[in-house]
Amino acid sequence: MKAILKSVRIFVVVAAIFIFNSCNTKLINEDIIRLNYSNDETPSYYQVIEMYQELANNFKEAKLFEYGVTDAGKPLHLFVISKSKDFNPESIKRDGKTILLINNGIHPGEPCGIDASLQFANDILLNKNNLQVNLDNTVLCIIPVYNVGGALNRSHYHRTGHLSPKESGFRGNAKNLDLNRDFVKCDTKNAVAFTSIFQEWKPDVFLDTHTTNGSNHQYTQTLIAPQHNSMHPIHGNFLKDVMLPELYENMKKGNYELIPYVIPYDQSPRNSYDRSPKKGILSYVQTAKFSSGYTQLFNCLGFMTENHMYKTYYDRVMSAYDFIGELLIFTDKYSNEIVENKKQVDKAISEQEEFNLTYTLDTTNYDRIEFKGYESGYFKSPVTGVERFGYDLTKPYTTEIKFYDYYNPILTIKKPVYYVIPQAWNEVIERFKLNKIEMRQLAKDTSLRVEVYYIENFEDEQWQNNGHRAHRNVEVKKEVQEINYYKGDYIIEVNQASNRYIVEMLEPKAPDAFFAWNFFDPCLETREYFSSYGFEANALIYLNEHPYFKAEFEKKKQDDSEFANNHRAQLSYIYYNTEWNEVSYKRYPVTRINDKVRLPLQ
Ligand SMILES: [Zn+2]
């Protein structure tokens, strides 16, 4: 991925031009595909797929698969490079190989990964620079363009901050949803197809390629790594002590030094000096809605690259190319360790009793890293004539800054032995099936003693969020109840390698739980309720038949004159504090069984 590779690429481009001009004489190393990132151009969706098909036609080590359809009605593609020509994920796994999955074009206005992956696929299949030695223990899978609908919607004007490429796709998919918020709620067919790919191939390492328009600095590429404290320590330590140091070090030896994604530690208002990275930067815990957060639920090391839009498109593509190469080199070199670690983490997670749902940054603990930035300040805008915050590119600096990369859990829950999901909640069941969660069904109608949550309180997000008003700051209270379940209702034993997915999707306080994303909203409504007139006769009978409650009610009337004069408030009091109240109102439908019990299962 170093200078030597760059020279190989230049040679190949020259060779390809030579071939083009000289009567179809094929040369060794002739590029199969032609990309034009040097001229600030990124291929269209159709060109991308054609080029992958061309590669698959030319090499037995490559295949192009289709998975389902996306919201634009076109299939999601997966391009697989397997040196042994084995394209069966199960036998690849049985052979102890690692699988690296790269996802591109989730935001098609950030296309450098699309070009970089294509160029890399071309180069490794041609075995340029002996690249194929890195496929001895690893199978490389590439999603050419994830957001197909967004990629088809091309314009020069989608990315207000970008000067290049000349034209690119749109962030929203065909349904105008942001796919990098849709990994667990799966509102899009794209996410359903991605899940099928992910669960069939079960990658060990994952990369999602992006471009950022955040703060300006000298780096062409930044990296969002998994937050090491939010993972099992076997993975967290391997990541922090082995993987990241080696990836950063190897990128530094090449043309494109890499730095963690720049989120200023000081979160003062935007466009302020105070947001300068000089005060430090921080990592963050990626939750389940994001690609890399989703992959971590299944103990896969998931990364996002954020290339820097202020650099040339050529450099963005080349730096993405180099990182893909380094990630493959690392994955292949440490294949045995990665596979062994995954086995151990899978086992540990399946036996783990407690799960952290939320974290807070440890502001007392940090690393020190070198940072190459540009001085920031206020400059007169040539558009508005008004002063605005910005960077002075004539004033680069190198300094040491703090990197806040340590988090502590703030909410930890003990897992139950089983979750019970009534079959009525089929949208949740479908997603569990898609994610290959082991589930059993009740063989007959059964009454079970379960722990239930009542939703006591929550807040809705102020703005529409990808088709939802997500619930935040959820508060619950627990109760034990005897509930009637039906034949076919689902029992999930929490003893699986996918326990993090199970717990983080079903615990209503988890940030990207199905509850947060409105899957269980019907439980927040009453269905019967009462009319002020119609309830009166029954309320009177009830009071007369329950003298103890009646005495309480009369006392409240005596003590509270406002209450005594409010007919509706009095009926409400009777309704909510007696058996008239709907027991299912605000009762979270998924329940917990905390002991190992014998259940009548199919
Ligand atoms: Zn992005």
DSSP one-letter string for 367-388: EEEEEEEEEEEEEE-TTTSSEE
- Inter-residue contact 110 to 182 (CB < 8 Å): no
Mean pLDDT score across all residues of the chain: 93
CA of 82 to the centre of ligand 1 (A): 28
CA 66, CA 191: separation in Å to the nearest integer?
14
CA of 176 to the centre of ligand 1 (A): 15
How many degrees, rounded to 5, is the angle at CA 231 between CA 181 and CA 517? 30
CA of 304 to the centre of ligand 1 (A): 9
Q: What is the pLDDT of residues 99-114, one digit of tens each?
A: 999 999 999 999 999 9
Instruction: Kindly state whether residues 164 and 282 are assigned to the same domain.
Output: yes
**Within-domain flag for 297:** yes
**Within-domain flag for 382:** no
CA of 320 to the centre of ligand 1 (A): 14
CA of 231 to the centre of ligand 1 (A): 23
CA of 175 to the centre of ligand 1 (A): 17
**Within-domain flag for 46:** yes
CA of 376 to the centre of ligand 1 (A): 24
Residue 521 belongs to what domain range? 415-526+584-593
Instruction: Kindly state whether residues 124 and 8 are assigned to the same domain.
Output: no
CA of 355 to the centre of ligand 1 (A): 29
CA of 40 to the centre of ligand 1 (A): 19
Estimate to the nearest angstrom the gap between the alpha carbon of 436 and the chain centroid: 17
Per DSSP, the residues of 104-172 read: --SSTTSTHHHHHHHHHHHHHHTTGGGGGGGGSSEEEEEES-S-HHHHHS-BSSS-TT---SSSB--SS
Domain C-terminal end among 332, 353, 374: 353
**Within-domain flag for 281:** yes
CA of 181 to the centre of ligand 1 (A): 11
- Inter-residue contact 205 to 100 (CB < 8 Å): yes
Domain C-terminal end among 323, 353, 383: 353
CA of 107 to the centre of ligand 1 (A): 5
**Within-domain flag for 544:** yes
pLDDT range class, residue 13, cuts 50, 70, 90: very low
CA of 305 to the centre of ligand 1 (A): 9
Nearest Cα to Cα of residue 419 among 590, 177, 557, 259: 590
CA of 183 to the centre of ligand 1 (A): 14
Residue 42 pLDDT exceeds 50: yes
CA of 371 to the centre of ligand 1 (A): 23
pTM, two decimals, is 0.92
CA of 212 to the centre of ligand 1 (A): 7
Instruction: Kindly state whether residues 440 and 559 are assigned to the same domain.
Output: no
Instruction: Kindly state whether residues 444 and 512 are assigned to the same domain.
Output: yes
Instruction: Kindly state whether residues 26 and 38 are assigned to the same domain.
Output: no
- Inter-residue contact 381 to 388 (CB < 8 Å): yes
CA 89, CA 31: separation in Å to the nearest integer?
28
CA of 207 to the centre of ligand 1 (A): 12
Write phi, then psi, for 313 (nearest 5 degrees).
-65, -40
Q: How many residues does the chain have?
A: 602
Residue 21 pLDDT exceeds 80: no
**Within-domain flag for 102:** yes
How many degrees, rounded to 5, is the angle at CA 201 between CA 125 and CA 512? 125
CA of 224 to the centre of ligand 1 (A): 11
CA of 110 to the centre of ligand 1 (A): 6
CA of 519 to the centre of ligand 1 (A): 26
Nearest Cα to Cα of residue 110 among 311, 300, 391, 267: 311
- Inter-residue contact 165 to 37 (CB < 8 Å): yes
pLDDT range class, residue 545, cuts 50, 70, 90: very high
Instruction: Kindly state whether residues 466 and 566 are assigned to the same domain.
Output: no
Number of domains composing the chain: 4
Residue 595 pLDDT exceeds 70: yes
CA of 211 to the centre of ligand 1 (A): 6
Instruction: Kindly state whether residues 264 and 294 are assigned to the same domain.
Output: yes
CA of 111 to the centre of ligand 1 (A): 9
pLDDT range class, residue 17, cuts 50, 70, 90: very low
Nearest Cα to Cα of residue 340 among 499, 136, 204, 138: 204
Which pLDDT does position 520 carry in this prediction? 98
Residues having C-beta closer than 5 Å to ion ligand 1? 107, 110, 210
CA of 51 to the centre of ligand 1 (A): 23
Instruction: Kindly state whether residues 215 and 273 are assigned to the same domain.
Output: yes
Which pLDDT does position 23 carry in this prediction? 38
Question: What is the sign, positive or negative, of the torsion defined by CA atoms of 380, 383, 389, 390?
Answer: negative
Which pLDDT does position 77 carry in this prediction? 98
Q: What is the spatial order of strands in the sheet that 387-404 belongs to?
A: 281-282, 387-404, 367-380
CA of 99 to the centre of ligand 1 (A): 23
**Within-domain flag for 548:** yes
Q: What is the pLDDT of residues 110-143, one digit of tens each?
A: 999 999 999 999 999 999 999 999 999 999 999 9
Residue 130: CATH number of its domain: 3.40.630.10
- Inter-residue contact 134 to 342 (CB < 8 Å): no
pLDDT range class, residue 389, cuts 50, 70, 90: confident
**Within-domain flag for 14:** yes
Strands 440-441 and 205-212: unpaired
Instruction: Kindly state whether residues 177 and 42 are assigned to the same domain.
Output: yes
CA of 155 to the centre of ligand 1 (A): 17
Instruction: Kindly state whether residues 442 and 340 are assigned to the same domain.
Output: no
SS3 content of the chain, % helix, strand, coil (to 5): 35, 25, 40
CA 192, CA 430: separation in Å to the nearest integer?
10
- SS3 for 8? helix
pLDDT range class, residue 272, cuts 50, 70, 90: low
Instruction: Kindly state whether residues 550 and 511 are assigned to the same domain.
Output: no
Instruction: Kindly state whether residues 161 and 82 are assigned to the same domain.
Output: yes
Question: CA Rg, the chain, in Å?
Answer: 28
